[in-house]
Amino acid sequence: MTQYSSDSAAEQGLASCQSCGKLSTVSNKFCRRCRAPLHLRKPYNIQKTLALLITALMFYIPANLYPIMATEQLGMIESANIVEGVIALWEMGSQPIAMVVFIASVIVPVTKFIILFWLCYSVRFNTHIDAAERAVLYRITEFIGRWSMVDVFVVAILVALIQLGSLLNVRPGIAALTFAISVVLTMIAAMTFDPRLLWDKLESSDQQVTNKLNITKDN
């Protein structure tokens, strides 16, 4: 029994360069094409991912508790955190925008946390969940990560744009920073996670595919 699935490159001592994708024998230590260090799997990636995730979570909690933005209108300061902002938008009648903000700021980060924690757990405890399914989850995480930044950018725009002295002005809240940090950390966590681990525990008998690449006509 090897550590890797029978059809993997790692099984044959070949490592795919993380930077350029070139396949080399792992004994080379460094990729000959791009000089990036070679590993069969990203070292300590589960630990790194978990560490980053937990840090991100630590930043995400204040991001939801503290105001993301403070509106000062005629000397009265009103501050709202993310959820309050969404509720306010919803009540103002701009439900689509409220949905966009809610998805970007709440659903996406929470989904990302859940998926990444679940992936780490599944790899660590070797659960027999379909690898393809988990790969799809991973790809979703990678794709949606950046869209959480929408709320941060909205704050940046409003802060820059709404500066009418004491009549109306907008100031960023501490949550804007912690939220941005949290998003960046989850993005790094997703990058650190090595999706190849998901496939390592596959039995060769499970595979119903050939070692043939699917070449399709690109639309």
Partner 1 sequence: MSSQSSFQQAKADISTHNRVSKVWLIPLVALCIGIWMVADNYYNRGPLISIEFQNAEGLEAGKTRVKTLNVDIGVVQSVVLNAQRNGVIVTARLNPQARDLLNNNSLFWVVKPRIGSGGISGLGTLMSGSYIEFVPGEGAESPDEFVGLEQEPITPIGVPGIRVSLEGNKGKSVSVGDPVTYRGFEVGRVEQSDFDVKKRIVHYQIFIRAPYSNLVTDNTYFWNSSGVSFEASAQGIKVNLGSVESLISGGVTFDVPDDLPLGEPIENATIFNLYPDKDSVYEQRKYQFKEFVVLFKDSVRGLSPGAPIEYRGIRIGTVTDISLSLISNSDVESSERRIPVVIRIEPARVGMNNDLAAVSAIAQQMDTWVAQGLKATLKTGSLLTGSLFVDLDFYPVDQDSVIGLVSNKAVIPSVSGSLAQIEQKVFAILDKFEQMPIDVTIDNINQMLSSANVTMGELKKTVAGLNTLLTDKQTQAIPQQINTTLSQLTKMMKSYDAKSPLYGELDQTMNQLQLFLREVRPLIKELNNKPNALIFETQADADPQPKGLNNED
Partner 2 sequence: MSTKIACQHCDYLMSFPVLNPGQCALCSRCGHKISRLKVNAINNLMSYSLTGVILLILSLLFPFMSFTLSGNMMEITLWQAATELYSGPYKLLALGVFAFIVLFPAVILGFILLFLVSLNLFGHTFYNSTLLRLIFTLLPWSMAEVFFVAVLVSLIKLVTIAQIGIGLSFGAYLLFCLCYVKVLTLVDKHQFWYWMDLAKKS
Binding site for partner 1 (CB under 8 A): 74, 163-167
Token duo for residue 148: 């959480």
Per-residue mark of binding to partner 2, 173-192 (x: CB under 8 A): -x-xx--x---x--x---x-
Q: Which is nearer to partner 2, 57 or 177 (CB)?
A: 177
Could you say which of 50, 86, 116, 149 contacts partner 2 (CB under 8 A)?
149
Which of partner 1, partner 2, none lies near 54, with the C-beta cut-off 5 to 8 A by kind?
A: none
Rounded least distance, CB 161 to partner 1, Å: 12
d(CA 123, CA 18): 20
Q: At what angle do helices 131-144 and 174-192 cross, to 10 degrees?
A: 140
Q: Are 170 and 156 in contact (CB under 8 A)?
A: no
d(CA 131, CA 201): 9
Q: Are 153 and 147 in contact (CB under 8 A)?
A: no
Per-residue mark of binding to partner 2, 116-145 (x: CB under 8 A): ---------------xx--x--xx--x--x
Size of the residue set binding partner 2 (CB under 8 A): 81
Residue 154 as a binder of partner 2 (CB under 8 A): the answer is yes
Could you say which of 89, 108, 120, 123 contacts partner 2 (CB under 8 A)?
89
Token duo for residue 14: 């070949």
d(CA 155, CA 153): 5
Rounded least distance, CB 114 to partner 2, Å: 20
Q: Which is nearer to partner 1, 106 or 156 (CB)?
A: 156
Q: Which is nearer to partner 1, 126 or 166 (CB)?
A: 166
Which of partner 1, partner 2, none lies near 74, with the C-beta cut-off 5 to 8 A by kind?
A: partner 1
Q: Are 62 and 54 in contact (CB under 8 A)?
A: no
Q: For the residues of 172-192, what is the DSSP string, one character each? A: E-HHHHHHHHHHHHHHHHHHH
